[in-house]
Structure 1
Amino acid sequence: MGVQIAKAMGHHVTVISSSDRKREEALEHLGADAFLVSSDEAEMRGAAQESLDYILDTIPAVHSLEPYLSLLKVDGKLLLVGAPESLQFDPVSVILGRKTIAGSYIGSMEETQQLLEFWAEKGLTSMTEVVKMDYVNTAMERMERNDVRYRFVLDVAGSNLQE
Structure 2
Amino acid sequence: MHFDGTITLGPIITGIGLCISLITSAFTYWKKYRDKNKPELIIYVDQLTTGTVSKFLIIKNTGEVPLQITGISFDDNLDQYNHERKLQSVVDSWIVPGQFLQGDFDPDYDKNVVIHIEFCSKKRPNKTYKDDFKINFGQFKDLLWSDSKPPYNVDSQNIKQTILNAALMISKRNL
Give TM-score, length-normalised by structure 1: 0.24
Which structure has the greater CA radius of gyration? 2
Higher strand share: 2
Give TM-score, length-normalised by structure 2: 0.23
Greater RCO structure (CA 8 Å; 6+ sep) = 2
